[in-house]
Structure 1
């Protein structure tokens, strides 16, 4: 069995690294300048690419676009849900209505399809105002604003397609929930699932959770969660999979619950139908063999065992100046000889590595304690050089 990974980011590199470490042959579509260190890169040509992959191999879509596009509808050896189920991530409106329909705990919400509707419905909420784009927006589709007028202005631009390039349509107005965010991810087959180690990620660009939302500036794990909270999280997974079954589908793949722990209860902020990024980089590092076993058993419909973390891991993301709005590209990268680094926005030009995206590299530190893992991650981050390098200094504090 060979592994075929769709995508080109740090998450995809981390998954491939874990499988390659266990001796599997790994192929990336299209991959990046770093993934070819752990496998072979190929161009991605949609359905044509999928149909050329042998049935006995396994296909893992890294990012959500592939699943929303319908890769799991094209081929039975894709470890991911069909596009009808992928709407849980592809449409925030569908996801919120799904949760309401099946009694799944989430924030109170309204849907606005026009600027006029937004102006009317936002009065049912108090600041800070949370507005979410309905469709995929690459981590940029959530606005959290203190001013009602600014929320109406930016939310209206989101609806008519003037705020984020390529994003337009209805928005969700969510009640703001204070608390601690948590990423809960599981390997799923039907109603059966096993939750992967809990990881905390950092969405805002700057220290102290300031600045714009990003795809994620770092993460650490495992996060210790009280047993009674874990039980409540398991109930959220179970209700979700029950709801998918009631809709007439079977879920197979990864399921991610973006949670807010509010007044002792976990609330679902969002669904992802794939692994998170940068959480994956931490999860696979904590126990590569355990992660692979869970994935393979989930794929085959076998007995999935819990993935027990071995020590701690911290991921510090190095981003390009101008991220997330207009990251600088083409800056030459110098790397240390040692250390675990997953590649994301990196290309090769004239035999040299250069920046090619917003999040450039993931610097990983591991250790017996969180403090040791954090120290190693930051020592590694400081040894990487490229013009305009930016990163948060408070990951895992």
Structure 2
């Protein structure tokens, strides 16, 4: 089968790496892709929102199957566009992708169906939001309603920080129209956990659990990013808690979406908080693979990813083969200087030339006409280590990291340490 993957980051590189191992996979294209992806697929210079061009390309090349990676085109209706041309596509339709595209929709859905989440209020008026905020305790969480590349959430520990975050979202509009509405919710303390699940209507098949590290600096300090690293499995979180999260949060949410006339098809990604008493609550839902969670989950998948995708699309997920490796995986993200703020591009990268045997997923790279690697994003590379334990996988990841360098390169040194305490 010839395949088109839409996207151009580390997540899409991991998806293509996994799809390329399928005996059913033929030619793989990626739009727009990146320099690392180009080692496995033919990159096509078509933007993620150029739906007409993407569907025309799929027809021209007789593409058998399309996979959508990022959140923005899903929220904009890219799946609906391909379906209108009768092209098989993996991902949720626009009305189902709203579970990520609007935090107020997501919170209202959970509230309506009594699915565990933090207490919240929503506002479209800045003065009303500010008045409410001043009456709340600290810490408190402030979220832009719409998509903000993983950066629209502030956990505020001071009154000044909380009011600045609200002003940035609603007045300064640093996230544009994503901040037209804001959600203010209670702070949940505990262990974070991500559970990604393949979903086909009411059928839910969870993947291996993972844990992300959002803040930019060690010790979970500094502003939130798109993710500085992740690991899987989670030996410090009891399997019973993971199962409770699936039964009390993910499955009821899939049923709720069906009941709302928005059946979900694709990957439903639950960001959860496990409270000190062991009870999971929902922080967020995403409507696609996580980034960088995908970079540790797919290397642990022993089954054929393309077969699973097809099972979801064809409504037979319940019978799909899904087997996971006992190996652990740790991903360390190498970021540009200044990320998640402004950062330079075109910075030369050393150490990639002999990395063909390493598991390295490219998020923001380019190659010069002379063939040299340079940076082209905030998150540049996701370096993955595998091992019999988290400790072994972590050592392998950081050993690979030590071989790569570029001016201003930043990474956290404590990825997966929570699993070793």
**What's the TM-score, normalizing by structure 2?**
0.90
Q: Report the Cα distance in structure 2 between the residues aligned to 1:40 and 1:310, rounded to whole angstroms.
A: 32
Mean Cα displacement is larger for which, 311-320 or 336-345?
A: 336-345
- Give the drift of 1:290: 4.6
Mean Cα displacement is larger for which, 188-197 or 149-158?
A: 149-158
3-state SS, counterpart of residue 361 of structure 1: strand
Structure 1 residues 80 and 61, CA gap change in structure 2 (3 angstroms): same
Give the 5 Å matches for 1:102-117.
Answer: 102-117=113-128
- Give the drift of 1:84: 1.1
Q: Report the Cα distance in structure 1 between the residues aligned to 2:132 and 2:320, rounded to whole angstroms.
A: 44
Q: Report the Cα distance in structure 2 between the residues aligned to 1:94 and 1:331, rounded to whole angstroms.
A: 40
Residue 234 in structure 1 maps to residue 241 in structure 2: no
Q: Report the Cα distance in structure 2 between the residues aligned to 1:275 and 1:124, rounded to whole angstroms.
A: 37
3-state SS, counterpart of residue 375 of structure 1: helix
- Equivalent residue, structure 2, for 1:375: 395
Structure 1 residues 47 and 101, CA gap change in structure 2 (3 angstroms): farther
Q: For residues 340-393 of structure 1, give each alpha carbon's deviation from its aligned partner in whole angstroms, at most 9, with x where no partner exists.
A: 111011012222211010000011111112111111100111101211111000
Q: For residues 283-324 of structure 1, give each alpha carbon's deviation from its aligned partner in whole angstroms, at most 9, with x where no partner exists.
A: 111125354443332222221334322311110100000100
- Equivalent residue, structure 2, for 1:33: 35
- Equivalent residue, structure 1, for 2:354: 337
1:182/1:259 contact within 8 Å kept: yes
Task: Work out which of the residue numbers 307, 314, 328 in structure 1 matches 2:330.
Answer: 314
**What's the TM-score, normalizing by structure 1?**
0.96
Residue 205 in structure 1 maps to residue 216 in structure 2: yes
3-state SS, counterpart of residue 289 of structure 1: coil
Mean Cα displacement is larger for which, 229-238 or 178-187?
A: 229-238
- Equivalent residue, structure 2, for 1:140: 151
- Equivalent residue, structure 2, for 1:94: 105
Task: Work out which of the residue numbers 272, 293, 298 in structure 2 matches 1:284.
Answer: 298
3-state SS, counterpart of residue 179 of structure 2: coil
Structure 1 residues 31 and 56, CA gap change in structure 2 (3 angstroms): closer
Residue 46 in structure 1 maps to residue 51 in structure 2: yes
- Equivalent residue, structure 2, for 1:266: 280
Q: For residues 29-68 of structure 1, give each alpha carbon's deviation from its aligned partner in whole angstroms, at most 9, with x where no partner exists.
A: 1000010101110122323312442576221111101101
Structure 1 residues 288 and 61, CA gap change in structure 2 (3 angstroms): farther
Q: For residues 177-208 of structure 1, give each alpha carbon's deviation from its aligned partner in whole angstroms, at most 9, with x where no partner exists.
A: 00000010001111112100001110010111
CA RMSD of aligned residues (A): 1.7
3-state SS, counterpart of residue 383 of structure 1: coil
Mean Cα displacement is larger for which, 297-306 or 336-345?
A: 297-306
3-state SS, counterpart of residue 402 of structure 2: helix
Gaps of 5+ in 1: none
2:102/2:147 contact within 8 Å kept: yes
3-state SS, counterpart of residue 187 of structure 1: strand
- Equivalent residue, structure 2, for 1:363: 383
Structure 1 residues 57 and 111, CA gap change in structure 2 (3 angstroms): same
Q: Report the Cα distance in structure 1 between the residues aligned to 2:381 and 2:176, rounded to whole angstroms.
A: 24
Q: Report the Cα distance in structure 2 between the residues aligned to 1:183 and 1:51, rounded to whole angstroms.
A: 36
Residue 326 in structure 1 maps to residue 342 in structure 2: yes
Q: Report the Cα distance in structure 2 between the residues aligned to 1:30 and 1:312, rounded to whole angstroms.
A: 31
3-state SS, counterpart of residue 21 of structure 1: coil
Structure 1 residues 205 and 376, CA gap change in structure 2 (3 angstroms): same
Q: Report the Cα distance in structure 1 between the residues aligned to 2:305 and 2:89, rounded to whole angstroms.
A: 17
Task: Work out which of the residue numbers 58, 75, 79 in structure 1 matches 2:65.
Answer: 58
Mean Cα displacement is larger for which, 202-211 or 113-122?
A: 113-122
Residue 305 in structure 1 maps to residue 321 in structure 2: yes
Mean Cα displacement is larger for which, 378-387 or 285-294?
A: 285-294
Gaps of 5+ in 2: none
Mean Cα displacement is larger for which, 148-157 or 77-86?
A: 148-157
Structure 1 residues 14 and 33, CA gap change in structure 2 (3 angstroms): same
